[in-house]
Amino acid sequence: MKQHAPSEPLSFSTLEGFVAAKITVEALKRAGPKPTREKVLKALTNMGELDLGGVYVHYSPKARNGWGGVDLTVIGAGGKLLR
């Protein structure tokens, strides 16, 4: 995330937003040069497993499993996300 939004503070909310944005961009890419709602939904439905840099999501006709893991977020005394 620091590569794309270096001044944005890290938090669980920004991480969730970043993951959602990466899924959306991938669906748009797979929908083709003139995406429509139907094409984007079809691309998302047929996406399969997608590695977003260590975060895995899986979308298929039977299941849309976004980020299904449990994540522990630790925010330090200064309000920054600890790694």
Taking only the tens place, the pLDDT of each residue in 25-78 is 999 999 999 999 999 999 999 999 988 877 788 888 888 766 665 566 777 777
Domain count, the chain: 1
Domain holding 18, by residue range, is: 12-82
pTM of full prediction above 0.85: no
- Is residue 2 assigned to a domain? no
Is 7 domain-assigned? no
Find how far residue 57's CA is from the centre of its chain: 8
Q: Environment class of residue 59 by beta-carbon count within 10 Å: exposed (0-12), middle (13-18) or buried (19+)?
A: buried
Contacts of 69 (CB under 8 A, 6+ apart): 55
How many other C-beta atoms are found inside a 10 Å radius of the C-beta of residue 28?
A: 14
Looking up tokens 């003139």, which residue turns up? 34
